[in-house]
A and B are shown apart, each in its own frame.
Chain A
């Protein structure tokens, strides 16, 4: 079994299942903070996805995207926290 096939049939499915689970949390909530961390985790898994994809296609260029994600993904979370601390009600 080549590495590519292994990735296609093992790694990617695991990652997709992971995303699915997180997405269920995102939909379920119940609070906005839950959704925010779910989003954060989805992005993190996305970084993993991109990394794996670049291994799978042997194109290192995609790692550049992952770098950006890793650097700035948390800004969204920070913004949400900022918002939530400002407004104590959880709309």
Chain B
């Protein structure tokens, strides 16, 4: 089930999809997108790659086990949720930097939260799919 056409396609689709996923993540607060869809697109990028090159090869690109993305993502999301508590505010209160940053716009805890979501979604989808495909071969 190797196809050189698919393999080559996946070589350049992977960066495109990843780029696009980050794009979706960053603009989520203003336009359709956000952590979920971003994460899903990113994971689809890797899934596609694994279809073309085999799961083992994709895992080499990812370098880390997708499973380990889950706690990282959860930690980022939950810390951005927890941060306000340290400032005496209710959990999850939005915190924002005063000035907007070019390209990204306003930086705030919501963005970190979305980043956490993004990572978790990638971790989850990849864990699920890679575990299955490793199990299937």
Q: How far is the CA of A50 from the CA of B46 in the complex (A)?
A: 26
Which of A67, A75, A85 touches B44 (beta carbons < 8 Å)? A75
CA distance A86 to B17 in the complex (A): 26
A5 contacts partner chain B, Cβ-Cβ < 8 Å:
no
Number of A-B residue pairs having CB atoms within 8 Å of each other in the complex: 30
A75 CB contacts on chain B under 8 angstroms = 44, 47-48, 51
| A82 and B1 within 8 A (CB) | yes
* A82 with B51: CB separation less than 8 A: yes
Minimal beta-carbon separation of A84 from chain B (angstroms): 10
Cβ of A68 within 8 Å of any chain B Cβ, yes or no, is yes
Chain A residues closer than 8 Å to B32, beta-carbon distance: 61, 64-65
Q: Does A27 contact B (CB under 8 A)?
A: no
With a cutoff of 8 Å between Cβ atoms, the chain B residues found around residue A78 in the complex are 6, 48, 51
**A residues near B37, Cβ cutoff 8 Å:** 68
Total interface residues in chain B, CB < 8 Å: 15
| A62-91 contact mask (Cβ, 8 Å, vs B): 1 or 0 | 001101100110010011001001100000
Task: Indicate if the CB atoms of B48 and A86 lie closer than 8 Å.
Answer: no
Q: Is residue B112 contacting chain A, with contact meaning CB distance below 8 A?
A: no
Q: Are A68 and B41 in contact (CB under 8 A)?
A: yes
Mask: chain B, 10-22; 1 = CB below 8 Å from A; 0 = not: 0000001100100
Q: Please tell me if B94 contacts chain A, counting CB pairs below 8 Å.
A: no
Measured CB to CB, the residues of B under 8 A from A are 1, 6, 16-17, 20, 31-33, 37, 41, 44, 47-48, 51, 136
**A residues engaging B (CB < 8 A)?**
61, 64-65, 67-68, 71-72, 75, 78-79, 82, 85-86
